[in-house]
Amino acid sequence: MKCKVCEREAENEYCELHEKAHRNILREYGVWKKASDVSWKQYLIEVAKNPHTGVWAKEVAESLISETK
């Protein structure tokens, strides 16, 4: 199985580095949801365009945006 983002070999959907970033994104979303009514996609867009987002997280966010309606 290949990572959805970088095509590296992965055990699950993402390789180790992107999986780590993915988990951070999910955890952060829990925090955001409590503070505001942001939708999942809106949140991902914010993550992707935030200059402080790391490159791994940004790639995961962009991949999730493209698969989220």
Question: Which token pair is 25?
Answer: 């994104």
Q: What span, in angstroms and rounded, lies between the C-alpha atoms of 27 and 22?
A: 9
- C-beta of 5 vs 43, nearer to Zn ion: 5
Applying CB under 5 A, does 60 fall inside the site for Zn ion? Answer: no
Q: Which of 1, 3, 26, 49 binds Zn ion (CB under 5 A)?
A: 3
Alpha helices in 1-69 (DSSP H): 16-35, 40-49, 55-67
Site for Zn ion in 17-56 (CB under 5 A): 18
Applying CB under 5 A, does 5 fall inside the site for Zn ion? Answer: yes
- Total residues found in the chain within this entry: 69
Residues in contact with Zn ion by the rule CB under 5 A = 3, 5-6, 8, 15, 18
